[in-house]
Amino acid sequence: MNKKKVWLSSPHMGGNEEKYVQEAFDTNWIAPLGPNVNGFEKDLENYINDSSSIATLASGTAAIHLALILLGVKTGDLVLCQSFTFSASANPITYVGAQPIFIDSESDTWNMNPELLEKAILDSIQKAKKPKAIMIVHLYGMPAKMEEIQRIADQYDIPIIEDAAEALGSQYKNQKCGILGNFGILSFNGNKIITTSGGGALVCKTEKDKQKAIFLATQARDDAPHYQHSEIGYNYRMSNVVAGIGRGQMQVIDKRVAQRRANFEYYKKHLSSLSNISFLEEPTGLFSNRWLTTILTDSFETREKIRLALEEKNIEARPLWKPMHLQPVFKDYKAYINGISEDLFMRGLCLPSGSNLTETDLQRVITELLSVT
Ligand SMILES: *Cc1c(COP(=O)(O)O)cnc(C)c1O
């Protein structure tokens, strides 16, 4: 193996994270509550939308689970879920005993196709079972077609869960992603645009929903001197230690978005001579954080040739996410398919996209791509 590894998306600290973590130790707030948790939630609320109420949690997956519970999704219910996503969007649907129905993508944003969504709703209603929720995703940071999806959601009165785990800092028509649905999901896993090593958040529209989420996330303890429970609870709250990392990361979020977007522009500029590679452009009004720079090649063979050549040079690249309807674990669920997400999976590749990549790192990737294509 030659030279140091170039990662797909590695953590990038801003500098003040350890100060907040040290404060947690100095004050002995080593618990799933405390000043860092409150401070991180405030920072997120100020960033996403002043009117939002945000609960920080142990993971983005936990946030999706709680959103489903808060919307009353139960055993036997149906949830319409974008197929082109990471498995964490779909897994919690099964935690509550509901069934996912997978919806394919459209080619402008690669996210949920509104026509297929409406078809799935009409089919379900015809069978006398209206779906309980719509799980949309802003994959790789590109916002989904929210207006079209919201119109359908309103028409049939079905709430939207907005999986913005990859889209912190992205915007749909000047509104931050995460505030666009009935509930929004954020993730601070190690590979995301900012990280707390592991963690997530549930974006709520009301303080009441936030307090209910916190109640469920802390074992659903009733107000009593002894331990008393009238509901099933979970241990999903974020630790005050890792929330300190989050406070440091929020000081540099705008920089991180700018750096990720600069990676995209750099790749695009230096690879523009290649006719067999294309990039996903931002539709008018949409602003992507460009969490990962993705390319679409002309064939599965070209995609693999590039991926293996990069691997040979100690550069991490990854095929676009394999759609849920093609996953062995979800293959028996109903799906509305048009071939788009399967084609993206076959021909697409994620390039190294960390905000801490140097120009030398980017040049290594580009040199390799120019030489094999
Ligand atoms: C990372 C991710 C999640 C889950 O977040 P965790 O914090 O890792 O549990 C959910 N959805 C998508 C699209 C993701 O990329």
- Our answer on whether the CB atom of 85 is closer than 6 Å to any ligand 1 atom is yes
CA distance 90 to 99: 9
> In the prediction, which pLDDT does 220 show?
98
- Our answer on whether the CB atom of 163 is closer than 6 Å to any ligand 1 atom is yes
Number of folded domains that form the chain: 2
> In the prediction, which pLDDT does 1 show?
54
Name the pairing type of β-strands 78-82 and 99-103: parallel
40 and 166 housed in the same domain: yes
- How many angstroms separate the alpha carbon of residue 273 from the centre of ligand 1? 34
- How many angstroms separate the alpha carbon of residue 184 from the centre of ligand 1? 12
90 domain-assigned: yes
72 and 123 housed in the same domain: yes
- How many angstroms separate the alpha carbon of residue 322 from the centre of ligand 1? 15
Q: Which amino acid is at 142?
A: M
5 domain-assigned: no
Q: Which amino acid is at 303?
A: R
Instruction: Output the residue whose Cα is nearest ligand 1's atom 8.
Output: 189
Question: In which residue are the tokens 């996210």 written?
Answer: 111
Last residue of a domain, one of 193, 215, 250: 250
206 and 70 housed in the same domain: yes
Q: Domain span at residue 266? A: 253-371
6 domain-assigned: no
Q: Residue 162's domain is classified under what CATH number? A: 3.40.640.10
292 and 310 housed in the same domain: yes
Q: Which among 89, 183, 193, 288 is the best mutation to test ligand 1's pocket, defined by most ligand atoms within 8 Å of the CB?
A: 89
178 domain-assigned: yes
CA distance 179 to 164: 9
- How many angstroms separate the alpha carbon of residue 86 from the centre of ligand 1? 7
> In the prediction, which pLDDT does 373 show?
84
> In the prediction, which pLDDT does 221 show?
96
- How many angstroms separate the alpha carbon of residue 162 from the centre of ligand 1? 12
> In the prediction, which pLDDT does 128 show?
87
Residue 292 and residue 8 in contact, taking contact as beta carbons nearer than 8 Å: yes
Q: Which amino acid is at 226?
A: H
185 and 282 housed in the same domain: no
The pTM assigned to this predicted structure is 0.97
Residues of the chain with pLDDT under 70: 1-2
58 and 136 housed in the same domain: yes
31 and 124 housed in the same domain: yes
- Our answer on whether the CB atom of 61 is closer than 6 Å to any ligand 1 atom is yes
DSSP state of 29: -
> In the prediction, which pLDDT does 3 show?
82
300: which 2 tokens? 């599965």
193 and 280 housed in the same domain: no
12 domain-assigned: no
Starting from the edge strand earliest in sequence, which strands make up the sheet with 175-176, in order? 175-176, 171-172, 286-287
**Of 362, 371, 36, 26, which Cα lies nearest the Cα of 196?**
36
58 and 179 housed in the same domain: yes
> In the prediction, which pLDDT does 2 show?
62
Q: Which among 138, 186, 189 is the best mutation to test ligand 1's pocket, defined by most ligand atoms within 8 Å of the CB?
A: 189
96 domain-assigned: yes
Atom of ligand 1 nearest to the CA of 62: 9
- Our answer on whether the CB atom of 162 is closer than 6 Å to any ligand 1 atom is no
End-to-end Cα distance, the chain: 22
365 domain-assigned: yes
173 and 116 housed in the same domain: yes
